[in-house]
Amino acid sequence: MSIIDDALKANQTYAKTHDRKLAGRPYPKIAVVTCMDPRLSHLTAILGIPQADLDVIRTGGPAVTDDVLGELVVSTRVLGSTEIMLLNHTGCGFTTFTDAELNAKLSKETGDASPAPMRFFSFKDPEQNTREQIKRVRSHPWIAREIPVRGFVFDMETGLMREVLAGS
Ligand SMILES: [Zn+2]
């Protein structure tokens, strides 16, 4: 049995108590862009925001890619989110390599360099990463001016979030 096979079995049990009202449309209040890191999965506890209010967009880092910008536009313009939070963190796996290093390593390990150069959006400094993200989101013409865009670094040691200002 694989993890996915176990998950399918667990889903049968879950479905017995599933809230059927969820079949309607979602009404998120805030879009949160954060890392794929499993330590950031419990956002309802970390942020104290109910699950139903959270539009969570996750990428490695996180990286604010063109796809993420598209999702933020939909979250705020179509679904109704009124705030955007960019949540980085300390100890991110994407700070442990550079894109060039990983491209070289995988080309060598697999013997196939055809996907290179692949963009992994590695970075070194989560605060700098956050500042760039705020600017990127804030400057998008389809993200409305009145939507607050605020960035934070979650400290894995303390569990506390530290705000990063775009201009600092
Ligand atoms: Zn991460």
Distance 50 CA to ligand 1 centre (A): 23
Its pTM surpasses 0.75: yes
CB under 8 Å to 35, separation ≥6 — which residues? 58, 59, 60, 61, 62, 87, 88, 89, 92, 94
Distance 110 CA to ligand 1 centre (A): 25
Distance 16 CA to ligand 1 centre (A): 34
Quote the pLDDT of residue 136: 96
Report how many helices (DSSP H) and strands (DSSP E) the chain contains, helices first.
5, 5
Q: How far apart are CA 120 and CA 99, in angstroms?
A: 6
Contact 109, 57 (CB under 8 A): no
Phi, psi of 42 (to 5 degrees): -90, 60
Distance 13 CA to ligand 1 centre (A): 31
Distance 95 CA to ligand 1 centre (A): 8
Q: Helix, strand or coil for residue 55? A: strand
Strand 161-164 vs strand 83-89: parallel, antiparallel, or unpaired? unpaired
The pLDDT-based confidence of 168 (bands split at 50, 70, 90) is low
Residue 95 has pLDDT above 80, yes or no: yes
Distance 122 CA to ligand 1 centre (A): 10
Distance 20 CA to ligand 1 centre (A): 33
Distance 121 CA to ligand 1 centre (A): 11
Residue 1 has pLDDT above 90, yes or no: no
Distance 89 CA to ligand 1 centre (A): 6
pLDDT in tens, 138-154: 999 999 999 999 999 99
Amino acid at residue number 34: T
